[in-house]
A and B are shown apart, each in its own frame.
Chain A
Amino acid sequence: MLKIRFHGRGGQGVKTSSRILGRAAFLDGYIAQDSPIYGAERRGAPVVAFTRISREPILERGYIFDPDIVIVVDETLLDDERARPLDGVKSGGIVFVNTQSEQAQVENVDDKLFIKYSITDAALRVIGKPIVSSPSAAAAAKITGIISKESIIQATIDELSELGLAEEALERNLRLVSEVFDTIPTPQLKILNGETTPREVIQLEYKGVIYEDIVNVGNASLRRVGNWRIFKPIVDYQKCTGCMLCFVYCPDSVISLDAKNKPIIDYENCKGCLICVKECPLHAITAVREVKIYA
């Protein structure tokens, strides 16, 4: 059995990725299983989805703790304490990272194989929007080495039509899927150690009543939701007149004002909604594509 785990953010469509891959495997005659984990995912929050592909009946469900292949749709998740996308990847497993790389790069890191490629840029080129769900599925399919191009194309058609995608958008998605499938290599998957680290089972102790209260008010800034951003607002302080509009209209309270009423943006937690960019009457704030490269 092959176990593939997708890590993305709410809105990036990793559920769809896992479904396209699941259907493609199904079309190729495998037994497949795909599922998402729902949590508090708003747009931008870490989300996980899974696809299992097998010749035999699949006697597993739910979270994949020991994936053969991990698809990191959003590179910023790599340093997200709560997402931890690399956890449990089998020794010899493959990690795909959607990162700033025009060509598909393959390198060994420790006992895992990393493939880096920017499907976001490919999507911006082909579709004009940072759509990453279908190309992620295509990347995963190619990496498995057992899914045909024909099936991944058909699965994309089936899944995206079900979501009500218009013909033209679907057409562009298919071009992107095809391009990504052709670009990504199929490295040999050599699982060196299929055993997961044993986890100890314990008996819970009772040390008195525990209240589910939160008194550390305002501690949410520890989340650092700034890594949800795709675009970053940058203030041109020469142009800024200190009109305060950006401060007023920020839904996340990440803009504070200095003594001259000029904005200071807390990038740790700015989600990049870009209301400030849109509302600034002097166009003193511009949106710049986030660049983060992970070694």
Chain B
Amino acid sequence: MREVEMMTGNTAAAWAARLADVDYIPAFPITPQTEIIETLAKWIGEGLMKAKLVQFESEHSMLTAAGTASLAGARVFTASSSQGLLYGFEMLYSISGWRAPLVLVNVSRGVAAPLTLEPDHNDVLSARDSGFIQLHAENCQDVLDLILLAYRVSEDKRVRLPSIVNMDGFYLSFTREPVRIPSKEIVGEFLPPYTPTLPFCPSRPVVKGASVLSGSLYTYFKHNMHESMIRASEVIDEASRHFEELTGRPHKPVEGFYLDDAEYVLVMSNSFTTIGKKAVLRLREKGVPAGLVKLVMLRPFPAAQLARLLKNRRAVAVFDQNLSLGLGGIIYSEVAGALYNERKRPETLISVIGGLGGKYITMEEFEYIFNLLQHPEKIEPGKPVFLFRKDELRAVENTIKLAGVV
């Protein structure tokens, strides 16, 4: 294996699981995630990694097994997407409540109906309240690195909460680019072995998952999980520094791009950030003081860092590749909340919805956003702006005509 290799996001995820020497991989196929489990199954079959991969009858079962195996002491890796994540959704809350520090890769895909394959983030953001740490990847290298980081943070005894690492379907899952594979030694140094807390044991039995049936106890445990999640922020910083020392690659929960003197800032996450960065460069060429903030960590939500990066800006747009029907962008609301107590908060905060179901975002659309930031009077404040183009509309209308329903 070369140190740098062309690989898809899916392959990068499989590599991370292999490097982390995971013990157990409960699996269930769903596009566009399937390649991850196929790759791992192949490697295990060839003896390239020592782990047990078991294919289940559903994501609900898969996630249940993932959680119980993690409590039993196995380092667990699993993956899903969209409908699959939602089918197993109940178990997300269980897994975090059990303090099972597994890592789940979600390959984002729009949620039916209408049924589709390409990405948006309604799937992964539906899990935002579940007690999973969430790290979102911009490129295939991020996928590999963030999974390793996720294991380190999730298994840390100050945190003990599971993680979701998100990558966009197609734009990362099936897209190849060069990815640097850290050596076994480096990963070994970065990631200590997983030591479970009170695993099942014949000589010292343990009851896990008991009901509490009390609002006070329930609140007490939930508060404890919340505080652990908040602590995860520091642990991520600490782990990132170590990772950077070992690999030279920094991974911050929130990353700025051309922020120093930026007056107009776009906040976004995941793979479209790459295109957003190109738009910023184009605007800079035209003399617009544009900048970008990339959200890598969605949970714990980096409110303080965001407020620090966004204060004193003239206008900020939050690009949501998701839609809370009847409200607008999910991350917009969270950013607005983060800024409310910042006295020097930007005067203008615009909500932009784009990329639903993988709808491509062109340069024109990014420029449109920055144009609105410079002329916010053109729109109703707080009302989300849907990115859509005339050529698209024409094509969509023609398609609908073919369906025959007027």
| Residues of chain A having any CB pair with chain B under 8 Å | 39-40, 204, 206, 208-215, 217
Q: Write out the residue numbers on chain A whose beta carbons fall within 8 Å of the beta carbon of B211.
A: 40
Known contacts being A39-B213, A40-B213, is A210 close to B221, with CB within 8 Å?
yes
Distance between B203 CB and nearest chain A CB, rounded to angstroms: 11
Q: Write out the residue numbers on chain B whose beta carbons fall within 8 Å of the beta carbon of A39.
A: 213-214
Q: Write out the residue numbers on chain B whose beta carbons fall within 8 Å of the beta carbon of A214.
A: 206-207, 210
Q: Which of B177-224 contact A (CB under 8 A)?
A: 197-198, 204-214, 220-221, 223-224
Q: Write out the residue numbers on chain A whose beta carbons fall within 8 Å of the beta carbon of B160.
A: 209, 211
From A209, A211, A213, B158 is in contact (CB under 8 Å) with A209
Q: Write out the residue numbers on chain B whose beta carbons fall within 8 Å of the beta carbon of A215.
A: 198, 204-207
B198 touches A213 (CB 8 A): yes
A204 touches B206 (CB 8 A): no
Q: Write the chain B residue with the least CB distance to A212.
A: B221
Q: Write out the residue numbers on chain B whose beta carbons fall within 8 Å of the beta carbon of A212.
A: 97, 208-210, 212, 221
| Residues of chain B having any CB pair with chain A under 8 Å | 97, 99, 157-160, 197-198, 204-214, 220-221, 223-224, 227-228, 231
Q: Write out the residue numbers on chain B whose beta carbons fall within 8 Å of the beta carbon of A217.
A: 205-207
Q: Write out the residue numbers on chain B whose beta carbons fall within 8 Å of the beta carbon of A206.
A: 223-224, 227-228, 231
State A204–B226 Cα separation when bound (angstroms). 11
Distance between B182 CB and nearest chain A CB, rounded to angstroms: 28
Q: Write out the residue numbers on chain B whose beta carbons fall within 8 Å of the beta carbon of A213.
A: 197-198, 206-208
From A204, A208, A209, B220 is in contact (CB under 8 Å) with A204
Q: Write out the residue numbers on chain B whose beta carbons fall within 8 Å of the beta carbon of A210.
A: 220-221, 224
From B99, B206, B213, B214, A209 is in contact (CB under 8 Å) with B99
For the complex of A and B, the 6 pairs showing the least CB-CB separation, nearest first, are A206-B227, A214-B207, A210-B224, A209-B160, A39-B213, A217-B205
State A206–B223 Cα separation when bound (angstroms). 8
Distance between A37 CB and nearest chain B CB, rounded to angstroms: 10
State A250–B59 Cα separation when bound (angstroms). 41
State A53–B228 Cα separation when bound (angstroms). 44
Q: Write out the residue numbers on chain A whose beta carbons fall within 8 Å of the beta carbon of B197.
A: 211, 213
Distance between B18 CB and nearest chain A CB, rounded to angstroms: 29
State A214–B208 Cα separation when bound (angstroms). 7
- Among A39, A209, A214, the one with the most B-chain Cβ atoms within 10 Å of its Cβ is A209
State A217–B202 Cα separation when bound (angstroms). 12
State A39–B214 Cα separation when bound (angstroms). 8
Q: Write out the residue numbers on chain A whose beta carbons fall within 8 Å of the beta carbon of B220.
A: 204, 210
Q: Write out the residue numbers on chain A whose beta carbons fall within 8 Å of the beta carbon of B209.
A: 212
**Chief secondary structure at chain B's binding surface:** loop
Q: Write the chain A residue with the least CB distance to B214.
A: A39
Q: Write the chain A residue with the least CB distance to B224.
A: A210
Additional A-B contacts beyond A206-B228, A210-B224 (15; CB < 8 A): A39-B213, A40-B211, A40-B213, A209-B157, A209-B160, A209-B224, A209-B228, A212-B210, A212-B212, A213-B197, A213-B207, A215-B205, A217-B205, A217-B206, A217-B207
Distance between A261 CB and nearest chain B CB, rounded to angstroms: 29
Distance between B161 CB and nearest chain A CB, rounded to angstroms: 9
Q: Write the chain B residue with the least CB distance to A62.
A: B215
- Among B210, B227, B228, the one with the most A-chain Cβ atoms within 10 Å of its Cβ is B227
- Among B157, B197, B212, B224, the one with the most A-chain Cβ atoms within 10 Å of its Cβ is B224
State A288–B158 Cα separation when bound (angstroms). 56
State A210–B221 Cα separation when bound (angstroms). 7
Distance between B300 CB and nearest chain A CB, rounded to angstroms: 13
A-B contact pairs, 8 of them (CB 8 A): A39-B214, A40-B213, A204-B223, A209-B158, A209-B224, A209-B228, A215-B205, A217-B205
A209 touches B198 (CB 8 A): no
State A288–B404 Cα separation when bound (angstroms). 80
Q: Write out the residue numbers on chain A whose beta carbons fall within 8 Å of the beta carbon of B223.
A: 204, 206
Distance between B10 CB and nearest chain A CB, rounded to angstroms: 33
Q: Write the chain B residue with the least CB distance to A217.
A: B205
Distance between B381 CB and nearest chain A CB, rounded to angstroms: 35
Q: Write the chain A residue with the least CB distance to B210.
A: A214
Q: Write out the residue numbers on chain B whose beta carbons fall within 8 Å of the beta carbon of A204.
A: 220, 223
Q: Write out the residue numbers on chain A whose beta carbons fall within 8 Å of the beta carbon of B213.
A: 39-40
Q: Write out the residue numbers on chain A whose beta carbons fall within 8 Å of the beta carbon of B210.
A: 212, 214
State A40–B160 Cα separation when bound (angstroms). 29
Q: Write out the residue numbers on chain B whose beta carbons fall within 8 Å of the beta carbon of A40.
A: 211, 213
Distance between B98 CB and nearest chain A CB, rounded to angstroms: 8
Q: Write out the residue numbers on chain A whose beta carbons fall within 8 Å of the beta carbon of B159.
A: 209
Q: Write out the residue numbers on chain A whose beta carbons fall within 8 Å of the beta carbon of B207.
A: 213-215, 217
State A95–B345 Cα separation when bound (angstroms). 59
Q: Write out the residue numbers on chain A whose beta carbons fall within 8 Å of the beta carbon of B99.
A: 209, 211
State A235–B45 Cα separation when bound (angstroms). 64
State A213–B204 Cα separation when bound (angstroms). 12
State A212–B210 Cα separation when bound (angstroms). 8
Q: Write the chain B residue with the least CB distance to A214.
A: B207
State A215–B210 Cα separation when bound (angstroms). 12
Distance between B46 CB and nearest chain A CB, rounded to angstroms: 38
Distance between A260 CB and nearest chain B CB, rounded to angstroms: 32
Q: Write the chain A residue with the least CB distance to B71.
A: A213
State A39–B210 Cα separation when bound (angstroms). 14
Distance between A13 CB and nearest chain B CB, rounded to angstroms: 20
A211 touches B198 (CB 8 A): yes
State A138–B206 Cα separation when bound (angstroms). 47
Q: Write out the residue numbers on chain A whose beta carbons fall within 8 Å of the beta carbon of B205.
A: 215, 217
- Among A211, A212, A213, A215, the one with the most B-chain Cβ atoms within 10 Å of its Cβ is A212
State A214–B213 Cα separation when bound (angstroms). 15
Distance between A62 CB and nearest chain B CB, rounded to angstroms: 10
Distance between B253 CB and nearest chain A CB, rounded to angstroms: 20
Distance between B67 CB and nearest chain A CB, rounded to angstroms: 14
Q: Write out the residue numbers on chain A whose beta carbons fall within 8 Å of the beta carbon of B214.
A: 39
State A210–B209 Cα separation when bound (angstroms). 13
Q: Write out the residue numbers on chain A whose beta carbons fall within 8 Å of the beta carbon of B157.
A: 208-209
Q: Write out the residue numbers on chain A whose beta carbons fall within 8 Å of the beta carbon of B97.
A: 212
State A103–B231 Cα separation when bound (angstroms). 63
A208 touches B206 (CB 8 A): no
State A206–B159 Cα separation when bound (angstroms). 12
State A169–B214 Cα separation when bound (angstroms). 36
Distance between A208 CB and nearest chain B CB, rounded to angstroms: 7
Q: Write out the residue numbers on chain B whose beta carbons fall within 8 Å of the beta carbon of A211.
A: 99, 160, 197-198
State A211–B99 Cα separation when bound (angstroms). 7
